[in-house]
Amino acid sequence: MAKEEKTNVMRVLDGKKIPYTSHSYEPDATLTGEEIAGILGEDPDKVFKTLVTQGKSHSYYVFVVPVKEELDLKKAAKAAGEKDVSMIKQKELLPLTGYVHGGCSPIGMKKQFKTFIHETAPNYEKIFVSAGKVGMQIELLPDDLIKTVGCTIADIV
């Protein structure tokens, strides 16, 4: 079996000695999060997507929510202490975070932005987030993700 390529996310976790399991599947940026959960054979409630927003103050915020849920922008703004937040344009994602659409992870962005994770994450033994590349996910303890990124737990959907 070929040695799996390490992503920046994996290098960050390895550097902090945080255990994780990587999962890969045929890269396809058109897959929905729920389809990815199906490919992984996992409950979509345990598979999280990473969304990047910008507030009225021009600060950026990252929100990590279950793939089958939609980010509630009003709740997100309240959590971030902003009047409102809006999703950034897809073309802004790579220069801002270092990640492409469909492969954005809360771990290992070019700059660490204030990050919020949905309040259900700690309810699971393990959760999944992007490994920083389309076609790859990592599975880890919610507390390890929260500590690594400095997530704030919030009601954001």
CATH number of 59's domain: 3.90.960.10
> Is residue 115 in some structural domain?
yes
34 domain residue, yes or no = yes
- pLDDT per position as a tens digit, 108-139: 999 999 999 999 999 999 999 999 999 999 99
Residue 91, in any domain of the structure: yes
The pLDDT value given to residue 146: 97
Element spanning 90, H or E: helix 90-97
CB 36 within 8 A of CB 42: no
**Structure tokens that stand for 133 in this block:** 């590349």
Residue 136 lies inside a defined structural domain of this protein:
yes
Give the pLDDT confidence of 48-98 residue by residue, as tens digits: 999 999 999 999 999 999 999 999 999 999 999 999 999 999 999 999 999
Please state, in angstroms and as integers, the Cα–Cα distance from residue 41 to each residue in 9, 21, 51, 67, following that order: 22, 14, 23, 14
Checking if the pLDDT of 33 tops 80, the result is yes
Is residue 1 situated within a structural domain?
A: no
What mean pLDDT do residues 17-30 have? 93
pLDDT at 4: 65
pTM (predicted TM-score): 0.96
- Mean pLDDT computed over every residue of the chain: 95
- Kindly state whether residue 3 falls inside one of the protein's structural domains: no
Contact of 89 with 133, CB cutoff 8 Å: no
Domain around 82 = 8-154
Task: Quote the number of domains for the chain.
Answer: 1
For residues 101 and 107, the answer to whether their CB atoms sit within 8 Å is no
Beta-carbon neighbour count of residue 81 at 10 Å?
A: 11
